[in-house]
């Protein structure tokens, strides 16, 4: 890995860790509400597809890691939401299956955690690493679940 790649990945991890703490109540909501989990699962697939398309279709002089693309996607979502004065629900009861922004950000974090040198998920989110919706099976690599 080139030094610029390393810096980009480090910056992506730092930014993702910064928003992760503000979304803790979302992980708790996922653990307790199947409808929120199903919506989260759809966001995982959508983010995975968006990042894959960006990797494949956007020409770059220098390639970037999937971690950087995930952080970029999350940053775009966060920036747009902040312009609309969006704030993540403060408690798990405030999360519903229609919490588009929060669930999209959680999906970005979840997928980023699977990347080499990706950020660690908060303790409240560890169950999301191993539970695909509707199956009860454990999947260690979420990207394999979508293929």
Q: What distance in Å separates the CA atoms of residue 42 and residue 76, rounded to the nearest whole number?
A: 19
Domain boundaries, the chain: 3-146
Q: How far apart are CA 19 and CA 91, in angstroms?
A: 16
pTM: 0.82
Predicted confidence pLDDT, tens digits, the chain (147 residues): 464 457 889 999 999 999 998 999 999 999 888 999 999 999 999 999 999 998 888 777 777 899 999 999 999 999 999 999 999 999 999 999 999 999 999 999 999 999 988 888 877 676 665 554 443 333 333 333 333
Task: Give the CA-trace dihedral at 76, 39, 17, 88, to 10 degrees.
Answer: 80
Q: How many other CB atoms sit within 10 Å of the CB of residue 78? A: 20
């Amino acid at each position: 890995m080139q030094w610029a790649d390393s810096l980009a990945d480090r910056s992506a991890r730092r930014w993702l860790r910064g928003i992760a703490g503000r979304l803790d109540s979302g992980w708790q909501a996922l653990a307790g509400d199947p409808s929120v989990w199903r919506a989260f699962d759809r966001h995982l697939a959508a983010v995975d597809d968006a990042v894959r398309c960006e990797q494949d279709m956007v020409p770059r002089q220098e390639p970037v890691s999937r971690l950087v693309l995930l952080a970029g996607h999350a940053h775009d979502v966060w920036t747009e939401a902040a312009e609309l004065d969006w704030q993540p629900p403060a408690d798990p009861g405030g999360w519903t299956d229609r919490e588009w922004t929060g669930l999209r950000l959680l999906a970005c974090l979840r997928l980023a955690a699977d990347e080499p040198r990706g950020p660690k998920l908060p303790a409240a989110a560890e169950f999301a690493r191993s539970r695909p919706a509707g199956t009860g099976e454990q999947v260690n690599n979420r990207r394999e679940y979508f293929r």
